[in-house]
Each structure stands twice: as C-alpha cells, then as structure tokens.
Amino acid sequence: MKKSFLKTLALIIAITSGLGFSSSSVLADDLKVALAAEPTSMDPHYQNLTINNSFATQVYNALVLQDVNQNLLPGLASSWEPVDDLTWQFNLRPGVKFHNGAAFSAEDVIASMERAANVPNSPSSFATFTKGKTFEVVDDLTIRVSTEKSNPFIPNDMSRIAIIDSAFINATTEDFNTGVASFGTGPFILNKWLPGDLIEISRNDNYWGDAAEWDSITIKPIKDGTTRTAALIAGDVDFIERVAPADLPNLEKRDGISVFKSVSNRLLYLTLHMTDDPIKPYVTDFNDNPIASPFQDIRMREAVSLAINRQAIADRVMDGLSSPAGQFSPEGYIGYSPNLQADIYNPDRAKELMAEAGYADGFKLTIHGPAGRYTNDARILEAIAQMLTSVGIETTIETMPASVFFKRFASGGVDKKPEFTAAMSGYANGSGEPSHPLRIFIHTKQKDRGYGPGNRNGYSNSEVDTMIEDGRAMMDVSKGMEMFIKATEMAMNEYALLPLHHEIATWAARDGITYANGALDSTFLHFISKQ
C-alpha cells in the first residue's frame, strides 16, 4: 500500500523534474541543512549518542579529532605519545580560545573529564572513556593520562570527550541547552536551539584550524525522508542527509542536485547460536519437536552463509544501497582485511554442506529481528527466509520493535541469557578503536572483564581470545592491528557471525556544494564545503 504511494510520488517527481524546474540560485554564505534527527541536548557530556556526538564536534573540540574514516587527527592536543607502558602524554595546543574568550589550558581538560563522567540523569554517560584513568597536569600545556594496565587506545578515548571551559564545570545540562554555558573551541558558535524546530550556528572567526566556509548554518530536523527530499528540491534547504532510497534515482538524474554516496561502517549481521545449552524452541524438526542447534557445526554456518544471496538483497531489497560484506570493516576503514570477501551465493554447495553435516532433509528455523531499526530490516529478513527455505531450512521470521527486540536478544532467555537461535542485528564502530568489534562480539563472554558483551551465540576460540588480548596490550597500535586483523580473519572463517552487508550512506546537495563523506553515516557539518 505504502509502496504504491511512494511509486506515484516518484513518478510525479520524475514528471516535474522534466518540466525544467531548476532550483539553482546563487549560493549565499548561509547554509541550510535538513537532518533526519536532532540532538537530545546541547550539552556535549549529557548523552553518548551518535547524533549528539557528531553535532558536538561543530561547537567543541576534543583533544584528538577523527576524520570521516575515524583516523585520529591532532585536535586540542597538537601531539601525543606514550611515555611508558602505562602513561600517555598529550601536548596541548597553545593560544586556543573558547568562544567566550577564555584561554584554553590543561585545567580545562581536567574539568571536562570530571564533568563528562558525572552529568546527573545522563541516559548514557561518557564515564566509559574516563574510567580507570588518572589525569595529571604536568604544566599548563601538558597532560599525562595513566592507567593500571597498558592501554594503546587512550587517544581514541580522548577523541570522545568534548573540552569545555573549566568555568562551567558545575553548569547544568539546561545551562548548555539555553546557551549560558555552551562555549567550546570548535569551528562554529551555537546561537540558538529551538527543540524540534531548528539549530543555528555561526562561524568562529578565531578558530585555531581552517575557518569554516559558511557564515552560518541552520539545521532543521526533518524526520520524513520524502519531506527532506522535497525540501531540497524546493530550495528550502541546501543539503540533506539520508535520501529515501525510493527518491534516489530521481535525485541523481535531476539537474542542479548532486548526490554523495559511500559505504558506511554500519554492518548488518546474522548471529547463529553455537551451543546446545539450552535447547531453544526456535529450531525444530518437521514434527515441531525442538532440536539442538545445528549451527554448532561450522558446516551448517557456512551453508547458511552460502545460501544467502547478498547481491540480490543489495539490488532488489536495498535499491543498490548496500555493499555485501565479509567482515566488520568496509574497505578503506580501520581493521579491514583484504583476505576476507563476502561469500558468493552458492545454494548447491550449501545443500552439500548440509548433507555432510547430517541435515540433508533440513529443519525448521525461526529468525528474529528488529523492524524499523535498520534500513529495510524486515524485508531483508523476508528475503533471507525465502533463500534459506529454498535450500531446505524451512524458515519463518519474527520481527518486533527495536525496544522489544534488543531486550530479548540480550537477555530474554532462561537465566537472562540471550533468547534467540538465529537473529539479525546491526553494528557500527563508534570510537574507531580497531579492537572494538572483536572485544564486543568475538571474544568469549567474560562479563567481569568487559569481554564479549555482544557475544550472544556462544562463540569461543581461545586462540582468537589470546590474539585480541595481546593486541590490546600493545602500545604500538600498528603491531596490535596485525593481531586484530589476524583474529578477525580466523573468527570470520569460522563464521563467528555472518556479515550480511554494509549500508551505503547517502547525502544530497544543491550544485556548488560538496561533502567529504567517508565510512561514517552521520553528518559532520564542517565537512560540507563550497566547490
């Protein structure tokens, strides 16, 4: 029903675009941007949420910055190096001023770390990045961070915490929302926030880095994808993120509009339960009697992977907006291994493997997944169910709202264990820390050590675990990286989980505007520039 409306809509856009309507006009220095969501607060320490963090980078700086592929760049720290195995030294940038004129110094760093970990009522605090670290002021422009165990990823952690003026260490979240305390060192100054309506920022002429190209930027949250597209075509805004897939072909053809696409680090994966404890009701024989999970056998996991036609999902379900995946990282992104490719669709081989594993006749399987959380999630699951059914695994799917799904996924089973046998979910590396996906999904679950919180299928390989732990103890990140890549290769070859695809992120702008997009699907306003 909805689909046919969208088709009509696409048709009308196509017709009208033929009428020679071109919305090109002289570019002003004021940019108008429509984003799909808005921050929940202007307080950079209130909630560790992607949209909040990406907006905060416009007004605030961290000690270390990240580019669009999450490589680390000098920020308020002009350089950093390990002093010994347990200590990092950050050399701060001299002569930097906050938007209110106050000078930046080591004291502000200490204040920011203190505040970031302790904002009252924070729904997801930044304490994760400061915990277990001791901060020491060496002089006004030098800070040392030490930990009890060697930690090569302290620069990554330091890239996550916005630095505020120490005068506002006790400011409330409300003070930041109303602009009383919202003074950063970033490329833009916050002028106004009307929740649900707009955010206005203007150029910081005293920025320490390259000054922004725009005098001011107005950000409007427009949740509906088609409305965002219409706003761009009508000239209400100059730049939008997340083009609705149905509108994309028409936008690409249209004069006066350019589209930007890049493979993002947002991965969709399938996880298959690998132990027989407990026997779950989601795999049964054809008489509906529950049986032990067939996916304890690596051949069955491979069979499922080969039975999924990732390219067909990309072409038919995702309208070309996904790239088949064989690992956590897309090409060009940290942790990528050139030795891992997406499995090529091979149903005959899948059937052979099933026969070898003793499941020639197949069985019945229920796959669970969220609806409305990831692009086309429910339709992807439907496609997978058809593909698996055609090789003999009679698959039904059960989708539910994300809020229900994640609870059952993590702890809906007996003894608060993960509930599902087979489930689809998504992942994107937020910190750019290369061992992150390995620590979360691949390492054997060890709750007290912080390992394997997302390992819901019981995968466990002590060799892989050792490589992950050793790599995480190496102060030389490039050496650690080799171990992470080796661990990734080993885990993926054992189908520790089944990568499906990386989503392709989209942006569109009026001609004359360009966007330096990378593997992150959120929008960073200072990467929007004039051509």
Binding residues vs other proteins (CB under 8 A): 5, 9, 12-13, 16, 19, 21, 34, 40-41, 46-49, 120-125, 127-128, 131, 173-174, 194-198, 220-224, 226-227, 230-231, 233-236, 372, 401-404, 406-407, 410, 430-431, 436, 440, 447, 450, 453-454
The token pair that represents 377 in the structure block: 């999630």
Q: How many Å separate Cα 395 from the centre of its chain?
A: 29
Burial of 311 (0-12, 13-18, 19+ CB in 10 A): middle
Residue 19 or residue 288: which is nearer to other proteins going by CB? 19
Q: How far is the CB of 90 from other proteins (least distance, A)?
A: 22
Residue identified by tokens 């003070």 is 175
Q: How far is the CB of 404 from other proteins (least distance, A)?
A: 5
Residue 5 or residue 286: which is nearer to other proteins going by CB? 5
Q: How far is the CB of 5 from other proteins (least distance, A)?
A: 5
- Beta bridge partner(s), residue 258: 509
Residue 138 or residue 404: which is nearer to other proteins going by CB? 404
Residue 25 or residue 493: which is nearer to other proteins going by CB? 25
Q: Which residues contact 339 (CB under 8 A, 6 or more apart)?
A: 489
Instruction: Enter the DSSP assignment of 47.
Output: B
Q: How far is the CB of 234 from other proteins (least distance, A)?
A: 4
Q: How far is the CB of 159 from other proteins (least distance, A)?
A: 13
Residue 19 or residue 26: which is nearer to other proteins going by CB? 19
Q: Which residues of 382-398 are buried (b: 16+ CB within 10 A; e: fewer)?
A: bbbbebbbebbbebebe
Residue 223 or residue 530: which is nearer to other proteins going by CB? 223
Q: Do the beta carbons of residue 255 and residue 318 sit within 8 Å?
A: no
3 state DSSP class of 363: strand
Residue 403 or residue 531: which is nearer to other proteins going by CB? 403
The neighbour count for residue 101, using CB atoms within 10 Å, is 9
Q: How far is the CB of 24 from other proteins (least distance, A)?
A: 13
Q: How far is the CB of 197 from other proteins (least distance, A)?
A: 4
User: What Rg, from alpha-carbon coordinates, does the chain have?
Assistant: 25
Residue 188 or residue 441: which is nearer to other proteins going by CB? 441
Q: Do the beta carbons of residue 112 and residue 99 sit within 8 Å?
A: no
Q: What is the largest CA-CA distance in the chain?
A: 75
Give the start-end residues of each E strand in 325-389: 363-371
Q: How far is the CB of 167 from other proteins (least distance, A)?
A: 22
Q: How far is the CB of 37 from other proteins (least distance, A)?
A: 9
Instruction: Enter the DSSP assignment of 449.
Output: G
Residue 410 or residue 474: which is nearer to other proteins going by CB? 410
Instruction: Enter the DSSP assignment of 121.
Output: T
Q: How far is the CB of 447 from other proteins (least distance, A)?
A: 6
Rounded Cα–Cα distance for residues 133 and 76 (Å): 19
Q: How far is the CB of 16 from other proteins (least distance, A)?
A: 5
Q: Do the beta carbons of residue 7 and residue 250 sit within 8 Å?
A: no
- Residue from 263, 425, 260 nearest 333 by CA: 263
Q: Which residues contact 101 (CB under 8 A, 6 or more apart)?
A: none
Rounded Cα–Cα distance for residues 201 and 219 (Å): 8
Rounded Cα–Cα distance for residues 80 and 87 (Å): 11
Residue 12 or residue 28: which is nearer to other proteins going by CB? 12
Residue 159 or residue 395: which is nearer to other proteins going by CB? 159
The token pair that represents 210 in the structure block: 């390259």
Residue identified by tokens 């950093």 is 80
